[in-house]
Amino acid sequence: MDIKEIVTKHLKDNGFDGLSNEDLCGCSISDLMVCCEPLPACQPGYKVLQSKGNDFDYIIQEEKP
């Protein structure tokens, strides 16, 4: 089992939607670690839908919506 598999299992088992790094980015479980590495500042997070007109359909944030 590699780091990505371990992190994915932990996120799913605990009801999270992905990882959040408030300084840089966020990623959903389905597109986990697109930066090719887990960063020390990444925290488990929840998906929050964004209104139309934003750059992204959703963000991942640490606080549950």
Instruction: List, in sequence order, every beta strand (DSSP E) within the chain.
Output: 18-21, 25-28, 43-49, 58-61
> pLDDT per residue over 20-65, tens digit each?
987 678 899 998 888 777 778 899 999 998 887 777 788 899 988 8
Give this prediction's pTM: 0.82
Q: What six digits make up the tokens of 30?
A: 């389905």
At 40 the pLDDT is: 83
pLDDT higher at 15 or 35: 15
Residues 6+ apart with CB under 8 A from 7: 19, 32, 33, 38
d(CA 41, CA 55): 23
Number of domain units in the chain: 1
Domain span including residue 32: 3-61
